[in-house]
Amino acid sequence: MRGNIMAIKKLVLIRHGESTWNQENRFTGWTDVALSAKGVEEAHQAGKLLKAEGYTFDYAYTSVLKRAIATLWYIQEEMGLEWIPVEKEWRLNERHYGALQGLNKAETAQKYGDEQVLLWRRGFAITPPALTEDDERFPGHDPRYSQLNREQLPLTESLAITIDRVIPFWNAVIKPRVASGERVIIAAHGNSLRALVKHLDGISEKDILELNIPTGVPLVYEFDDNMNPVKHYYLGNPEEIAAKSHAVASQGKAA
Ligand SMILES: O=C(O)[C@@H](CO)OP(=O)(O)O
């Protein structure tokens, strides 16, 4: 019957465009840095591409960090979708990088070695050195996190800890909306999206180490009627996307 034919459910994920600290190759985490000029351009291009490919959205999610929020703005602007509801959620924030936040990644690799930096960046359950609560970078000092309880306020996070906040939010809030047929975009961060992608694709703790998400490139997931992911793909030029992912992987090397 016509009424029973369900449209393919699609979800679009996008990592924010290049930030000023991506440009300076610094560990960022929950530091609220702006997009670079290149990042603004990437966001506009992503919006143009989504529009040209016939995408539209009913609802958007982003983090409480302005590099992701602004990426979404420019996409909405390019698509004429400024009017759609946007939910800003701290659980979609970047993984908290603890006391590494602000340090240059290549300099950190010179000091501690490429291997140690790779473990800090990509080791599944490895937490970077923690902040202390009296550190001005501790999110407990930031009013946007005033509703969080002490257990929710990170001093540092591994990917495993990030998964423990991203996936419950996906399951309880975003997934039902996609399942109901709404077209959703999530503008978030390298590691909060790695958390979601690991979950959606059932990637192992070992293999997720190799996954690097490029800035500003739409990543489309298609789901069957039971919300099982059946297919995923980036929009754009595959060679450029591979080069961008490779560049992310190389950021933590000394040379
Ligand atoms: O610094 C960060 O917060 C993240 C994303 O830019 O970096 P990485 O790719 O090293 O996990």
pLDDT > 70? residue 108: yes
Residues placed in the known binding site for substrate? 15-22, 28-29, 67, 94-97, 105, 121-122, 190-191
Residue percentage of the chain with pLDDT more than 90: 95
Closest protein CA for atom 11 of ligand 1 = 121
The pLDDT tens digits of the residues spanning 144-194 come to 999 999 999 999 999 999 999 999 999 999 999 999 999 999 999 999 999
Tokens coding 30: 């929950």
Strands 229-234 and 219-223: antiparallel
Beta-carbon count within 10 A of 111 CB: 12
Residue 5 is predicted with a pLDDT of 59
What number is the average pLDDT over the span 197-212?
Answer: 96
Q: Which atom of ligand 1 is nearest to the CA of 19?
A: 6
Residue 1 is predicted with a pLDDT of 44
- Residue 185 in contact with residue 152, Cβ under 8 Å? no
Q: Tell me the pLDDT band of 219, cut-offs 50, 70 and 90.
A: very high
pTM of the model: 0.96
What number is the average pLDDT over the span 124-146?
Answer: 97
Closest protein CA for atom 8 of ligand 1 = 121
Does residue 151 have an active-site annotation? no
Does residue 94 have an active-site annotation? yes
pLDDT > 60? residue 2: no
pLDDT > 90? residue 7: no
Single out the catalytic residue among 42, 78, 89, 94.
Answer: 94
The pLDDT tens digits of the residues spanning 33-80 come to 999 999 999 999 999 999 999 999 999 999 999 999 999 999 999 999
Q: From the CA of 30, how far away is ligand 1's center (Å)?
A: 10
Average pLDDT of the residues of the chain:
96
Residue 255 is predicted with a pLDDT of 75
CA pair distance 20, 163, nearest whole angstrom: 26
Q: Which atom of ligand 1 is nearest to the CA of 22?
A: 6
For the purposes of burial, counting CB atoms within 10 Å of the CB of 53, is it exposed (0-12), middle (13-18) or buried (19 or more)?
A: exposed
Ordered domains of the chain (ranges, CATH): 2-250 (3.40.50.1240)
Pocket of ligand 1 (CB under 6 A): 22, 27-29, 94, 97, 121, 190-191, 248, 251
The pLDDT tens digits of the residues spanning 228-253 come to 999 999 999 999 999 999 999 999 99
Q: ipTM score of the complex?
A: 0.96
